Structure 1
Amino acid sequence: MRFSRGVITIAVIVVVLAVAVSVGLYHLLKRAPVVVREAYCVVDTPVGVRELDPEQARISATIAAVAARRKLPERAVVIAYATALQESKLRNVDYGDRDSVGVFQQRESQGWGTKKQIMDPVYATNRFFAALVKVKNYRKLPLAEAAQAVQRSAGGYAYAPHEEEAKILAAAFTGKVPRALHCWYPQTRTPAPAPRTREARKQLARALGSTAITTEKRGWLVASWWVAHAEMYGLTRVGYGGATWSNDYETEGWEADGKPGKPGARRVELS
């Protein structure tokens, strides 16, 4: 079969154009900015779902651990979360009204401690709870009244709207609801450093005291603390109670690992 010169010319033009378009698209895509996903955490419980950033998750885990060390009821944790949500949005900020700083916006001039001390979430949380337990019948008081008795802020009414959100966080971070916390953070292409678990265990012990797991609920509190601090300490896997959290963007939560979960399991596995 013979083709006319015109047909051959058109075919050559089409091929050249196709190659040109392909090369152009290649270079355009090559220059396009790479979309970098940001680290995130999410709490999923029967009473609701709440999205957090990693700092908020770490602060939440710390508050729950300090409460467990002091053997405080869940109500105390809820009050603390609602207070921190209003005061700092659950972040350890180094600014505020006058000399207010930290998670609970405590003031050096009012005897809460030095700025350096207040900026330590474990210290600040301990000071908050020490004041809260002195409030008569704080467990039965409306949340805003209990929080205001500690904070003595200009707008004590503002704590109440955070109560439902605080209950969601308390259910997850106290270990009441297993597998409730999932976090993800981007990893570099280079191999991640070995998990700094020794340093992390010291920080966990500062908040929780003994890190021994004596009940299943305490085990899930500890497991949630590790997941919340995974990015900080280079962890990619946490296992407990027959389930495993992995730093996997495609995974929405904990997955069964094929190992039978034992009530009151004594160990959280890390890597």
Structure 2
Amino acid sequence: MRLRYSRGVLTIAAIVVVLAVAITVGLITLLRTVTPLREVVAGCTVRTPEGDLDLDVEQAQVSATIAAVAARRKLPERAVVIAYATALQESKLSNLDYGDRDSLGVFQQRPSQGWGKPKQLMDPVYATNKFFAALVKVKNYRKIPLAEAAQEVQRSAGGYAYAPHEPDAKILAAAFTGRVPRALHCTFPEPTATPSPAARPRTDEARRQLARALGSTAITTEKRGWLVAAWSVAHAQKYGLRRVDYRGVSWRVEEVSDGWKPGGKSSTTEVVLS
């Protein structure tokens, strides 16, 4: 038996089909034009003429600390490169509370070998100072191959392993010493609710901790200013910082794209934290 439909039913069906097609086309067009939301993941990126590197937040903080301690000791960039290559091999630039036998910290220094007490070696500022104090005693450390200089300090079973990290160490040194401006960008999720007092900017504490590594926080050169700026961005999540301004550009936590943006405070003698 054949079913027969009235003209009205067929008209309604046709209208439904047309509307369904129109809605589908509209949704497809909308999805093509709307930029998808990016999930903000905590992390940092270093961009320099020497190359690019991705770091987690702890690696960026450790890198910034090593550069600051080197600046306080007035050491050349070569010393910073050697320190980075050593830390990359020993801990991947992480402050480890474990290691081979009694090795600890960023440089995997051993209390039993006279490097210090366990609590001291878990302080990256202390550990870095101990590393540099030993490095400067190595004859011609600026000129000899990096692996030889690092091995003279570390006395590792496999001293050859430091050499492959030299290219990455040079990228880090260019960024964190301040030689390359605006080289570090970090992102992390912003609080979805009103920040607790502990999550609000603690600029005074940030400056105190910077001073532990760097000594005076005065900006005496542009390079030093970018070192302070990089240190501040690396530690922004830890101290609740949302913005770092220097020389007319600004890093902001909400800028999930990347890079520093024009419009920051134009001071050449101060890195402004907020």
- TM-score range relative to shorter protein: 0.7 to 0.9
Of the three residues 159, 164, 178, the one matched with 1:161 is: 164
User: 1:3 & 1:205 partners in 2: Cα distance?
Assistant: 86
User: 1:75 & 1:251 partners in 2: Cα distance?
Assistant: 32
Q: Does 1:202 align with 2:208?
A: yes
Q: TM-score, normalised by structure 1?
A: 0.86
Q: Does 1:247 align with 2:253?
A: yes
Q: Does 1:105 align with 2:108?
A: yes
Q: TM-score, normalised by structure 2?
A: 0.85
Residue segments in structure 1 that go unaligned for 5+ positions in a row: 19-33
Could you report, residue by residue, the CA deviation over 1:83-137 in whole angstroms, capped at 9, with x for unpaired residues? 0000000000111101111000000111111111100000000000000001111
1:170-209 equivalences under 5 Å are 170-192=173-195, 193-209=199-215
Greater than 6 Å deviation, 4+ residue runs = 11-14
Q: Does 1:63 align with 2:66?
A: yes
User: 1:189 & 1:233 partners in 2: Cα distance?
Assistant: 17
User: 1:259 & 1:124 partners in 2: Cα distance?
Assistant: 35
1:12-27 equivalences under 5 Å are none
Q: For residue 228 of structure 1, what is the aligned residue in structure 2?
A: 234
User: 1:36 & 1:46 partners in 2: Cα distance?
Assistant: 28
SS of equivalent residue, structure 1 residue 182: strand
Q: For residue 213 of structure 1, what is the aligned residue in structure 2?
A: 219
CA-based RMSD:
2.3
Residue correspondences, number = 252
Inter-CA distance 102–162: structure 2 relative to 1 (3 Å threshold): same
Q: For residue 32 of structure 2, what is the aligned residue in structure 1?
A: none
Q: For residue 33 of structure 2, what is the aligned residue in structure 1?
A: none
Q: For residue 21 of structure 1, what is the aligned residue in structure 2?
A: none
Inter-CA distance 258–53: structure 2 relative to 1 (3 Å threshold): closer
Deviation at 1:250, TM superposition (A): 3.6
1:7-86 equivalences under 5 Å are 7=10, 36-86=39-89
User: 1:76 & 1:119 partners in 2: Cα distance?
Assistant: 21
User: 2:14 & 2:113 partners in 1: Cα distance?
Assistant: 84
Matched AA of 1:58:
Q
